[in-house]
Structure formats: C-alpha cells, structure tokens
Structure 1
Amino acid sequence: MNNEILSPAEMAEADRLTISAGPLDGIGLMRNAGAAVAAVVLAHFPAARRVHVLCGPGNNGGDGYVVARILQDSAVDVLMWASGSPKAGSDAALAASECPVRPRPLSEFAAETGSILVDALYGAGLSKPLSGDAARAVEVATELNLPVVAVDLPSGVSGESGQVLGHAFRARMTVTFARKKPGHLLLPGREMCGKLVLADIGIGDGIVAQLEPRTFENTPPLWLGNFPIPAINAHKYQRGHVGVFSAGPSTTGAARLSALAAARSGAGAVTVLSPSNGLQVNAAHLTSIMLRKADTIADVQEFIGDRRPSAFVLGPGFGIGEKTREFALGVLATRQRQDGRVDGLVLDADGITSFRDAPNVLFEAARRPTAPALVVTPHEGEFARLFSDIAGDKNLSKLAKARTAAERAGAIVVYKGADTVIATADGRAAINGNGAPWLATAGSGDVLSGVIAGFLAQGMPAFEAACAAVWIHAEAGSRFGPGLIAEDLPLALVPVLRELAENRNGMTAE
C-alpha cells in the first residue's frame, strides 16, 4: 500500500535510512530525482524553446543541477539561475560540479514567453515566506504565464500544511519522490501543484515501513479490506440497523436524506426516529425506511432495547439545545454490543453545535471505555464551535488540527472541506484528495453522515468507515457532476459501491 503520506521530516529520515542501507548514496538519490524531473520536462514539453532552471542552495537545488545537466545533454536550450551556492562538500555541491551549465544570479532572472521554468529552489522543506529574489521570480513567472515544473513541491508552499508562505509558484506539474507530502493534498497546496507525478528514486517500501507512518491519502486501499460484503445467507438485521433522529414537521428532510444514504450504503434496516408531531410528515415520504416515535430519551432507550440498532445519526435538521444533548449523551451511555459489532454515533450539524458551550461533556461521554464510537463531522464553522482554541491556532495545519481535536475528543473527527481530513484519537489520519465542488450543496453533509452510519452498522471499524464514506461520497459527486443536488447523491452512490464490492470480492478470491 503506497498511500502513506510523509511529512518533510519523515521524508528526510527516509533519505537517511536509504543512504545508510545502501547501495544508493546521497548523490545517487539526487541523480535519480533529477533524472525523474528531466524525464517529465522532456515528455510533456518537447516543443519548449528554452528551459529556465532555478536552483536553491540545498538538496532541492542539487536536484535542479542534475535536471539542467540532463536537459543540456538532450540538446535543450537551458539557462540556470541560482540563489546562493551549495555548501562545500554537500551532495548539492557535487551535483553542481557535474553540471556544465554555468548558473547566473537569481537576482538577474529574466525569461521569455514560450519558455519553461523548472522550480528547484526550496521544495517541501521551506518553513518561512519567500522573499527577495525568489519572490520576484514568482512574479516574473506569473506575469509571463510560464509553465512551471516544480521539484518536490512548488517553492513557497509549505510541505507540512499546504499553505502559501507569502509567494509561491503555481506549477503546471510537480514531481515528488517516494511518497506524497501533506502539502500536496491540503489546500491551497493541492491547487498550486498542478498535475502531481510520484517518482520512484530508490526509496523502498521497507524503508517507508520503518517510519511507521500515521498519515495516509484516503484512497480505497486504505479501507477496502474492511468494506462490507454481506454473506449469502445474511438477513437484514445482520447487515446492521441504523437509527436516524428527525426533528419536527418543518425540518424532517435532512434526516430522511441521512436515512436513505444509510440504506443505500448497505445497512439492512433503517429507522427514522421522529417526534410525534413529525410522524405524519415523515410517513408520507418513507417507504422502505421504518418510522418510530421518539419524543423522549425513554423512547430512545426503548427503541435500543427492542431493536438493537448498530449506529445512529443525530444532528441533521434536528435543532440546537438540551434535547439534542440529552439524546447524544443517552446514545453514548449505551454499552457497546457484545457480539463484536462496532456501534457508533455520527454527530453532525446541530448535534455538534449543541455542545459548543459544553464540549467536555461530550468528550467525557465518548471516552468511556464501553461507549459506542463517536464520529463528529464538522465543517470549518462547526469545528470552531467545538474546538475553538485549536481552530484559532495559526501554527497548526488542518491535518494537525484534526488530529489534535480527535485526541481531545476521544472520537473520529471528519474535518470537512474540499480537503477533508479524517483523524482518530490513536493518531492515525487520512487526507482526502478527490473532493468535488459539486458537493457544495445543501444536504450533502446529511448524506455523508448517513453513509458513515451505514458502514458502522455493517461492522466497519469507525476510522475506516469514516474514510470510506468520505471517499465514496466525493467520488459519487464527481461522477454526477454539474446539476447535482443532495437528493441525487444516495442513488449516485450505487455505481461506486458496486465497483468497490467487485474489487473487494476480487481481493477475497485471491
């Protein structure tokens, strides 16, 4: 599984371990990296009149010297511009000595329309804003609309957070090595990278495994092994039962969206838990989904005792206040099932906001050893209501915020957005890279909550259930495209689910 994501520090350690293990040394890795970048330039820009290579003083610049040498050997017109000189005795200095192209000062950088720029200034390790000559080079490239090929990461983009540090190149293509970094997937870094090429330069999977990565790109290999496929003789309750809380007559639609999504994702039974005054409205719109009165926590407890539901959704359209808190805490007070199934509560929307003045009450309930798994699904505003100090910490990336919040809450945190981050209290985290703009529509989050609950009800571990739901939800939105509204999403899930089931069956057959 090559969906591990390495921080810049972990990537540096992977380099060190590779060099220590041999046979490649530092300059060997650098030559391989430069060759990979040069191959991309030659393949994708064969008609370029000239290639400008911008080199920094570190290893990223060393890669650039290799690029320039290979391009000149390939009869490409190359000009090189350097910001400082590599440290004497370093791999970058050796790469510079092997390069026949004499560098010019970056302060004199000038280019022409129709040329290509290779950005080998700073890469993923940059920790301070671009300034001076480097910032001016960004302005020149932007003004001339030069196609940029970035080495590792566009200079000016943080490899840790994806944030733009002052100025940054907007690359047409980015060539990175061994594994992606957080900045390749977190916004705005993902947009600044253009098309991402992951190159093998000799850092093996065994080296990466030694690092024991805890961050992953959210793709099917991360969770497909846990994707639920019903046994041939399974009955509906063996496929899990989801309870979705509905509000009163004027705001029932969100709960029904969640309920339908839970059913589409494979839950064998779904019940909408409705207040008395909403029963008639809900009944008029439900067919295969069951309906039950739930005015009080006693009603909820009776339902749990009678029907043994596997997962709940609380929050979509439900309203903010004491009743919401009481229902959430009541579900979390239910003991986990003894048959090995994963019980869970998906708390979204109003369910999250209801705890803004008392978040620790929720977190303490979730941390009880026998409590069902808690999955909270905040967008940026809701995240700030539940984790105000974490949200306001400008030193933390979105990844770090989600991970810190999950640890505090004892929960799975699905920090939503175009770069959704899913984090768990044990330190694992996944960054979703297939977000679709079509999902920015009312009710989309209600559908996501239902899919998560549907997977929980079928026995998926909570982290994997949340990751799978986020990816599938986004994939369905991407495939549907323009015109998507939330009502379309449950049915749009079907072809994605079918493909995953086929792939899962293929894994089992092997």
Structure 2
Amino acid sequence: MKNEPGLWVDKLPRPTPDGHKYQRGHALVLASDELTGATRLAAGASNRIGAGLVTVRSEHKGDLFRAVLPADMMVQDGDGASLKSLRAILAGPGGFTLWHKQQLLTDDSEAIWVLDAEAIKWWVGQRPMSREAILTPHDGEFSKAFPDLLGTRTERALEAAMASEAIVVLKGPETVIAAPDGRGVLNTHSSPYLAKAGTGDVLAGMITGLVVQGMEPFDAACCATWMHGEAARRFGPGLIASDLEAVLPGVLASLLG
C-alpha cells in the first residue's frame, strides 16, 4: 500500500480550544552527551510537530543542553524524576550507552519507546515484553539488527516487525513502514536532499511528537515519514537537517486545512 495523506490525515492530532499542554502529551528524549546535535534535532522536531512538552534528559551535560535548547524545553540531569503525562521516550539518536539502557529498563511508565540506531539492536536482543516500540533503522542498522532475514526490503521489514513485535520504519529513498500485525505501507514521497546527516534524527523526533499527542503508532510512523519527505521537497536544494523543523509548520497547516 502506498503512503499518502488519505491513510492518516483524519487521525492527525488537532488541538482543542479548551485543551492544555498535558493533553498534548509529554515526550522524553534521552540525550547523547557526545553527538549533542542529534539530540537537539530530535527534540526540536518533536516539539515543533506538536508535543505539549518535551524534556531532554542528559547523563552529564544538562547545563550544555540548557544553554542551547529553546527556552520552552525542559532539561533533566542524570536519572531525573518521573514526568507527568509521559507518553513516549526517544532513545538512540547520537548514541546508546549503558546509561540509556538503564533509563529504559527502569522506566515504569506506559510510554511508547521510539528507538533509533544502536538502540534498535539492543531492542532485538533484549525485547522487553508488554512494551510498544517503533524502530527507525536505515539499511545498515537494519542489517545489524536482523542479519538473517532474506527477501525484498518490504518482505524483510514485515518479517522484522513480526519477529521484534515492534513497528519497523526501514528508511531509504523508499521507506517501508511495517507492523507486527502484517500491515505494510511503502513511502515514496521523499527527496534525494534527505541524504544528509541528522535527517533521521528529525524523523525519529517527528514520530515521537505525534505519538505523544495520541496518534496510533503505525499511523504516526506513516504520517511523520510522509511529512518528512514533504518538508524536504518544499525546501529543495541546500537542505540540511535543521531546515526541516522550520518547514514543518507549513506542512502541518496544509494538512490540517
């Protein structure tokens, strides 16, 4: 099935006149203290796409993130405290260490996990039960996490989703979104200018931001992937990852009508 707005636009979160920030959900981004730009891109995208609150939790560099992140984002040091209305946790952009693993394994919320890069391989090996997750690998990360799968990209993504019990977003010029229940969508709405460092971090943040607003994870993955491609198409040549966030409001406005 081809990914297009008709599949999910009616499910796109719309703020209500009497709503408040907690109703729009709380996203937690587990920071990379080395590749800090990946954290900033992911958190910024989650914030821009509509999450009511975004908190960045850093093991060692909380003060750095307080200095460089927008003023409306919150920063926690170390293990942090439990967060009100927490609906999704993003881990993996920029790195995945023992500290990140501990943060996930000690999470007592019902938050959905969005996992990128090395966090994907950990999920496949660890696979905590009774937890919803969305995995966002590119082809190299997918091959490391699922080295024994054969077939087309679509077949492998569907098999990986069923084996890992998670939604798989296999990124590329044609991105496959696969669910454990056998649903599969192919996204061709993209741009060659997305082949830049950091654009995957933006996509992971976009998915996280839609999930915290209550969008069903598979729909959120499909919607974010299409919007990611649309933002890149609108910007065109010269695109860098941070440009995507600036284009998102216009994409949202077009979809919301």
* TM-score, with length taken from structure 2: 0.95
Q: Distance in 2 between matches of 1:263 and 1:310?
A: 14
Q: CA deviation at 1:329?
A: 3.2
Report 1:251-266 matches (<5 A).
251-266=35-50
Q: Which amino acid counterpart does residue 361 of structure 1 have in structure 2?
A: Q
- Using the aligned pairs only, state the percent identity: 41
Report 1:122-161 matches (<5 A).
none
Query: Does the CA contact (< 8 Å) of 2:25 and 2:85 recur in 1?
Result: no
**SS at structure 2 position matched to 1:217:** coil
Q: CA deviation at 1:425?
A: 0.3
Question: Pick from 81, 85, 89: which aligns with 1:308?
Answer: 85
Q: Distance in 2 between matches of 1:360 and 1:349?
A: 14
Moved over 6 A (4+): none
Question: Pick from 24, 45, 62: which aligns with 1:279?
Answer: 62
**SS at structure 1 position matched to 2:169:** strand
Pair 1:378-2:162 in alignment: no
Q: Distance in 1 between matches of 2:189 and 2:48?
A: 21
Pair 1:389-2:148 in alignment: yes
Query: Does the CA contact (< 8 Å) of 1:411 and 1:425 recur in 2?
Result: yes
Q: CA deviation at 1:322?
A: 2.5
Counterpart of 2:241? 486
Unpaired runs of 5+ in structure 2? Answer: none
Question: Pick from 335, 356, 359: which aligns with 2:124?
Answer: 359
Q: Distance in 1 between matches of 2:211 and 2:144?
A: 25
Q: Distance in 2 between matches of 1:335 and 1:415?
A: 27
Q: Distance in 1 between matches of 2:86 and 2:100?
A: 19
Q: Distance in 2 between matches of 1:292 and 1:388?
A: 36
**SS at structure 2 position matched to 1:388:** coil
**SS at structure 2 position matched to 1:492:** helix
Q: Which amino acid counterpart does residue 463 of structure 1 have in structure 2?
A: F
Q: Distance in 1 between matches of 2:147 and 2:103?
A: 23
Deviations 1:445-499 (A, max 9, x none): 0100110000000000000000000000011001101000011111111111111
**SS at structure 1 position matched to 2:188:** coil
Question: Pick from 104, 113, 119: which aligns with 1:328?
Answer: 104
Pair 1:412-2:171 in alignment: no
Question: Pick from 279, 286, 291: which aligns with 2:75?
Answer: 291
**SS at structure 1 position matched to 2:16:** coil
Query: Does the CA contact (< 8 Å) of 2:157 and 2:176 recur in 1?
Result: yes
Q: Which amino acid counterpart does residue 113 of structure 2 have in structure 1?
A: L
Counterpart of 2:24? 239
Q: CA deviation at 1:335?
A: 4.9
Deviations 1:93-115 (A, max 9, x none): xxxxxxxxxxxxxxxxxxxxxxx
Unpaired runs of 5+ in structure 1? Answer: 1-215, 337-342, 503-510
Pair 1:471-2:250 in alignment: no
**SS at structure 2 position matched to 1:484:** coil
Q: Distance in 1 between matches of 2:145 and 2:104?
A: 15
